[in-house]
Amino acid sequence: MLTSLAFIFLVGLSLAAICQALKLPRIIGMLITGILLGPYVLNVLDPSILSISSELRQIALIIILLKAGLSLNLADLKKVGRPAIMMACIPATFEILAYFLLAPYFLGINRLEAAVMGAVMGAVSPAVVVPRMVQLMDEKYGTAKSIPQMILAGASCDDIYVIVLFSTFSTMAQGGSAHLKDFINIPVSIILGIVLGSMAGYLLSLFFETAYTHSHMVRNSMKVIVVMGVAFLFMSIETWLKPVVSVSGLLAVISMACVLKLKCTASVSARLSQKFGKLWLAAEVLLFVLVGASVDIRYTLKAGPAALAMIFAALLIRTLGVSLCVTGTNLTWRERLFCSIAYLPKATVQAAIGSVPMAMGLSCGQIVLSVAVLGILITAPLGAIGMDCSYKKLLSREIDKSQIFSS
C-alpha cells in the first residue's frame, strides 16, 4: 500500500507539474497518472488501495467542501438564491432529457435505458468545479455578483438530485416502478443536510468559544481534526439513515463550515481555511489519481463516434438549461457563458455510478459505462481548461467594496 501511495503522489505531482508547464490544468496530469497506474493499464496499484478508493475520494471531497464553506459568505449566497436553486436541478434535467430524446437514435437503446444513461451523465463534478470556485472567491473574480458562490452552491446539490433519479430509473429498468417517496427525498435530503450541518457548526463554535473563555484554548490544528471528524460522521449518518430518510452528508459538511465561518472570528475562520487549503494539496492528488484509476480505458474504444456526438449534443442542451437558470439576473453574456463552461465537467459521480447498470445486469450496462468513461475523459479536461483559460476574460474582478475592475 505504501508503494502505491508513493506512486500516486510522486507520479501524480510530476505529471501535474508537466501539464502546468504546458499551460494545461494540473488535474489532467493526475487523471493520466491514475489511468496509467490503474488496473486497466500498468496495474501497479495495490488492490487494498483500490478497495478503499471510494472512501479516499470522499475524504478528499470533504476537505475541499470544508475549505469552500469557510470561504463562502452567506450574505453573498442570498443574492443568488433563485438561480442557485435552479442550477441544482435544471441543467441536469435538460441533459437527462437530451439523452432520453436523442440516445435511442444515436446509440440504439430504448427510452428507459436512455434515461438511465442521462442520469449517470447528468451531474456536474464538484471535485473539478468547487476548487476553482474557491480560487475565484479568493482572487475576487465574479464575487461582486456572487457568481462563484452561485455555481458552488448548485454544483454541491445537483448530484443529490441526479443520484435519486438514477436510482429510480435503474429500478424501473429492472422491472420495478417509481415511487413518489423517491422524489420527495430530494428536498428532504437537502433540508436535513443543511439543518444537521448548521446545528453541528453552531455547537462546534460554541464549544471552541467556551473552551477559550475557560482558558482551554483549542489549537487551530486541533480544530481542523475535530471538524474533519464531525464531517466524516455526517457521511456515516447519511449511510445509517438511508433506509429511513435521506440526508445529504456533503451538504451537511458545507453547511457546518458556513456556520463556523459565521460564528467564529474572522482570523480563526481564515486560518482554518488556510489549513484545509494545505490539506487539499495532497487530497487533490489522491482524488484525481483514484478517479483516473477507476476509469476503464478499454471502454472508450467501444464507444465510437456516435457516443462522442451524443455527449456533445447533450452538453449543448445542458448549456441551454444553465442559460435558463440565469435568465432575469443582471449577469452579462460573458458571465453567463462562464456559468455554462463551469457546468461542463464530469468526473466523480460518473466514476462512482457509471458501472452500476452493468453490475445490475441491465442490457445497456456496457454502453452506459462506455459513455461515462468517455464523458470523464472529455469533459473533465474540457471544463477545467475552459474555466482556467476564460475566467479572467469573462468575469470582472472586485478590487474593493466600492470599485469593480473589469478584467
Please write the tens of the pLDDT for every residue from 168-199.
888 888 876 667 777 787 888 889 999 999 99
Residue 401 lies in a domain: no
Please determine, for residue 380, whether its predicted confidence score (pLDDT) is greater than 80.
yes
Is 407 a member of any domain? no
Give me 12's grid cell.
501524480
- For residue 317, being part of any structural domain is answered with yes
Which domain covers residue 385, as residue numbers? 2-396
> Which CATH number is 74's domain given?
1.20.1530.20
| DSSP bridge partners of 406 | 396
- Spatial distance between the Cα atoms of 252 and 376, rounded to a whole number of angstroms: 27
C-alpha cell at position 66: 470544508
Using CA atoms, how far apart are residues 111 and 277, in angstroms rounded to an integer?
Answer: 44
Contact 261, 72 (CB under 8 A): yes
Specify the pTM.
0.85
Which has more confidence, 407 or 24?
Answer: 24
Residue 366 lies in a domain: yes
- The cell for 78 is 442570498
In this predicted structure, what is the pLDDT of residue 279?
94
Q: What is the three-class DSSP state of 218?
A: coil
- pLDDT-wise least confident of 29-33, 71-75, 287-291: 71-75
In a domain, 287, yes or no: yes
Q: How far apart are CA 277 and CA 266, in angstroms?
A: 16
Q: What is the 3-state composition of the chain as percent helix, strand, coil, each rounded to the nearest 5?
A: 80, 0, 20
Burial grade of 41 (CB within 10 A; 0-12, 13-18, 19 or more): middle
Cβ–Cβ under 8 Å, residues 131 and 156: no
Residue 195 CA from chain centroid, whole number = 21
Maximum C-alpha span of the chain: 69
Q: Are 72 and 258 in contact (CB under 8 A)?
A: yes
Quick check: is 405 in a domain? no
Q: Quick: pLDDT tens for 124-154.
A: 998 899 999 999 999 999 999 999 999 998 8
The separation between CA 87 and the C-alpha centre of its own chain, rounded to angstroms, equals 13
Domain count within the chain: 1
Residue 122: name the closest of 372, 378, 394 by CA.
372
At 403 the pLDDT is 47
Q: Is residue 359 part of a domain?
A: yes
pLDDT tier at 405, thresholds 50, 70, 90? very low
Q: Which of 65-79, 152-166, 231-245, 250-264 has the lowest mean pLDDT?
A: 65-79
pLDDT of residue 402: 46
Give me 374's grid cell: 468517455
Work out the number of other CB atoms within 10 angstroms of the CB of residue 376: 28
CA distance 294 to 69: 28
pLDDT digits (tens, 9 = 90+) for 25-71: 898 999 999 999 999 899 999 999 999 988 998 899 899 889 988 98
Cα torsion 257, 259, 261, 263: sign: negative
Q: Residue 166 above 80 pLDDT?
A: yes
Inter-residue contact 367 to 107 (CB < 8 Å) = yes
Contact 142, 338 (CB under 8 A): yes
8 A C-beta contact, residue 150 and residue 83: yes
Distance between CA atoms of residues 90 and 75, nearest Å: 24
**pLDDT category, 401, cuts 50, 70, 90?**
low
Residue 402 falls inside a structural domain: no
The pLDDT value given to residue 176:
65
Q: Assess whether pLDDT exceeds 60 at residue 407.
A: no
Q: pLDDT category, 246, cuts 50, 70, 90?
A: confident
Q: How far apart, in whole angstroms, are the C-alpha atoms of residue 283 and residue 224?
A: 15
Q: What spatial distance separates the first Cα and last Cα of the chain, rounded to whole Å?
A: 47
- To the nearest whole number, what is the mean pLDDT of the chain? 89
397 phi, psi to nearest 5 deg: -100, 130
What is the model's pLDDT at position 406? 45
CA separation for the pair 347, 62 (Å, rounded): 16
Helices and strands (DSSP H and E) totals, the chain: 19, 2
Question: What is the rounded distance in angstroms from the CA atom of residue 344 to the CA atom of residue 347?
Answer: 10
Residue 290, CB half-sphere, CA atoms under 13 Å: how many?
A: 28
